[in-house]
Amino acid sequence: MSIEKPAIIGGEPVSKHWIPIAKPIIGDEEKQAVMEALEKGALASGEFIEKFEKEFARYIGVKHAIATSCGTDALFISYLSLDLTFNKKILTTPLTFIATASAAICTGAIPIFADVEEDANISPEEISKVLEKEHINGICVVHMYGKPCRMEKILSMAREYNIPVIEDASHAHGAEYKGKKVGNLGDIAAFSLYPAKIIAAGGWGGVIVTNNDELAETARLIALQGELREVRGTKTAYEFVRIGYNMRMSNIEAAVAYYQLRKLNKFIEIRRKYARILTEMLEDVPGIKTPTDPAYGKHVYYLYVITIDEKKIGWSRDEFVEALRKENIDARRGYHKPLHQQELFLKINDPRVNYFAKIVKYPEYSKLSYPTAEKLSKTSVWLPCHPALTEKDVENIGKAIRKLISWKTGKKL
């Protein structure tokens, strides 16, 4: 049997149409809710914000949810609410989106990194090593790609050292750890509702969740200009009790988010189904390591992320991604440069790059190494795995990967 020629060298692409890495599904309910808000003139404030916050808190299993303008702001407010400010040290992962660390920098805090595990989640063992030698003021875990971190040991260490835990759950709406929803594990959590995420708001959007009454009140004040009205009612309008920002979600965004939330379980079910299809198609392919469901919880597959062995598949990671894109698969390199190797962190003590450097001294990140994060940044490939796809699309992703490796190795897969 002949081996098909890759599209990158003139062959026919596996898929006849583009298969995007992400695409929100916006239904009639969301559209009607937005029109309702527009017709009422409730563009900024309105009932959908309160309804969304109430339902999101109920879904996660917490007492409080505060809707924000975006996930980055949700992190920023969470750090401030915990007083993780000037010269406080926040321990997190070097393999994440910039906001996990830049939000800390913007409060005056100092990001400290611990290496990750092979699944890209922060390693409890590496956290332990850092805690033994550094005074850490907060730990921010990131549930990467929708897979919950190994939280039991992390939470145990946090209690031992009396350190708050922040969950960056931007990838992990609906993920579970030992029967509890992600976001209901640490002291406070931040979610993103960017359109590429598991559920979307009508724009950017984010959410903070917590069971702590004091943190919730502080977070709401910070998000809403420090105005007492936001926690005490209209009788205290235009009374300002602390510095705050305008980081609130609009009613139009909340209208979309409210109805997206109602579909979240269905979205997760489809993502997990598609992940199973991909795993079945790829788990026997030499040089491909597929993601796994943890025994301790539920992976929601914000992305389906494989790691490759370049020697075994015959392609470099970047060439492989480009070849997949020519097959009409929107593959990505993902976080191809860990944070400690980013230009921002290499120049972080330069006030022209980071104005906080005028008053805060940061580590020399260029001298630091996190081997697993560095390896994963060079070997990971992000693949689409979302409910806007069809089963045929998902099968074509698997076929494209097998096709490309067959061509390079000369062995029909």
What pLDDT score does 144 carry? 98
Pair 302, 172: CB distance under 8 Å: yes
> What is the rounded distance in angstroms from the CA atom of residue 148 to the CA atom of residue 146?
6
Please choose, from the candidates 353, 335, 334, the residue with its C-alpha nearest in 3D space to the C-alpha of residue 345: 353
Domain-located, residue 399: no
**Chain center to CA of 250:** 22
What pLDDT score does 234 carry? 82
The model carries a pTM of: 0.97
> What is the rounded distance in angstroms from the CA atom of residue 103 to the CA atom of residue 111?
10
Domain-located, residue 96: yes
Pair 166, 139: CB distance under 8 Å: yes
Blockwise average pLDDT, block size 10, the chain, 413 residues: 92 98 97 96 94 98 98 98 98 98 98 98 98 98 98 98 98 98 98 98 95 98 92 88 96 98 98 98 97 97 98 98 98 98 98 98 98 98 98 98 97 91
> What is the rounded distance in angstroms from the CA atom of residue 64 to the CA atom of residue 55?
10
What are residue 382's DSSP bridge partners?
A: 305, 332
What pLDDT score does 279 carry? 98
What CATH code is carried by the domain that includes residue 52?
3.40.640.10
Pair 122, 93: CB distance under 8 Å: yes
Pair 121, 154: CB distance under 8 Å: no
Domain-located, residue 354: no
Domain-located, residue 11: no
What pLDDT score does 156 carry? 98
Number of domains comprising the chain: 1
> What is the rounded distance in angstroms from the CA atom of residue 277 to the CA atom of residue 392?
10
What pLDDT score does 389 carry? 98
> What is the rounded distance in angstroms from the CA atom of residue 102 to the CA atom of residue 119?
23
Domain range for 122 is: 28-263
Domain-located, residue 371: no
Helix 151-161 vs helix 124-133: angle between axes, to the nearest 10 degrees?
20
What pLDDT score does 1 carry? 63
> What is the rounded distance in angstroms from the CA atom of residue 413 to the CA atom of residue 288?
13
Domain-located, residue 290: no
> What is the rounded distance in angstroms from the CA atom of residue 185 to the CA atom of residue 152?
9
Pair 182, 175: CB distance under 8 Å: yes
User: Which region holds residue 287: left if phi is over 0, alpha if psi is between -120 and 50, else beta?
Assistant: left
What pLDDT score does 235 carry? 87
Task: Look up residue 243 and give its amino acid.
Answer: I
Domain-located, residue 148: yes
Token pair recorded at residue 273: 């189904």
> What is the rounded distance in angstroms from the CA atom of residue 188 to the CA atom of residue 183?
7
Domain-located, residue 159: yes
Pair 104, 84: CB distance under 8 Å: yes
> What is the rounded distance in angstroms from the CA atom of residue 387 to the CA atom of residue 357?
44
